[in-house]
Amino acid sequence: MSDERVILTRERFALTMERLCRQLIETYDGFEDTCMIGVQPRGIYLANRIHQRLLQMTGLPQLKYGQLDITFYRDDFRRRDKPLAPSATQMDFIVEDKNVVLIDDVLYTGRTIQAALTALNHYGRPRSVELLVLVDRRFNRHLPVQADFVGITIDALDEAYVRVEWQETHGEDCILLFADKPAAG
């Protein structure tokens, strides 16, 4: 992989996370009839953090939180070299008449979110769905999908690759930009 550039350092990363949580509190207030759903596999690191931080900040005993795997809903099945390995879905509630905050790390083509919306339909008819992403690559969309809460907006070429690194997996929170995509795996 080519040279990497840090576009969000640990300190700025923490500030951004804090801002996203405060925006959610501002919008959803007491979080009644509201649930957070992280998109597997990478969206759940962000969703876990936000879920934990919101519990601390609001002092609420619990917040409805699920993890949704969208592998079987993707529109690129048989269009990739290898099938994608599914991750676990953990949804112990239905979203009927709930406000859903869908959480993913990077919004790129919009296809993942389209698949997530299809998958979400199988858990009922939500009252509303809003999208929270840490990174919005706004010039690379294939579908008319926009995020409602954005950590950082990045204007990058289509060939570029954005990776969010987490303390849990990489030892430090940061966002990196690579000039080229990694080899297909």
Partner 1 sequence: MSIAQQLGTKHLLGIKDLSAADIQLIFETADSFKEVINRPIKKVPSLRDITIVNLFFEDSTRTRISFELAEKRLSADVLNFSASSSSVKKGETLLDTVNNILAMKVDMVVMRHPAAGAPHFLARHINASIINAGDGTHEHPTQALLDAYSIREKTGDLQGKKVAIFGDILHSRVALSNIFCLKKLGAEVTVCGPPTLIPRHIQELGVQVSYDLRKTLLWCDVANILRIQMERQDIRYFPSLREYALHFGINKTLLDSLDRPIIIMHPGPINRGVEITSDVADSEHSIILQQVENGVAIRMAVLYLLAAQLPQA
Binding site for partner 1 (CB under 8 A): 69, 71-73, 77-79, 82-83, 85-89, 94, 118, 121-124
CB of residue 52 to partner 1, shortest distance in Å: 24
Helix (H) or strand (E) holding 152: strand 149-154
Residue 166 CB, shortest distance to partner 1, in Å, is 23
Q: Which is nearer to partner 1, 19 or 122 (CB)?
A: 122
Question: How far apart, in whole angstroms, are the C-alpha atoms of residue 16 and residue 14?
Answer: 5
Q: Which residues pair with 103 in a beta bridge?
A: 38, 132
The distance of closest approach from Cβ of residue 78 to partner 1 in the complex, given in angstroms and rounded to an integer, is 5
Q: Closer CB to partner 1, residue 84 or residue 179?
A: 84
Minimum distance from residue 81 beta carbon to partner 1 (Å):
9
Q: Which is nearer to partner 1, 16 or 67 (CB)?
A: 67
Query: For residues 85 and 183, which CB has a smaller minimum distance to partner 1 in the complex?
Result: 85
The encoded tokens of residue 14 equal 């923490």
Count of CB atoms situated within 10 Å of the CB of 92: 7
Sheet with 34-39: list strands edge to edge: 64-68, 34-39, 99-107, 128-137, 149-154
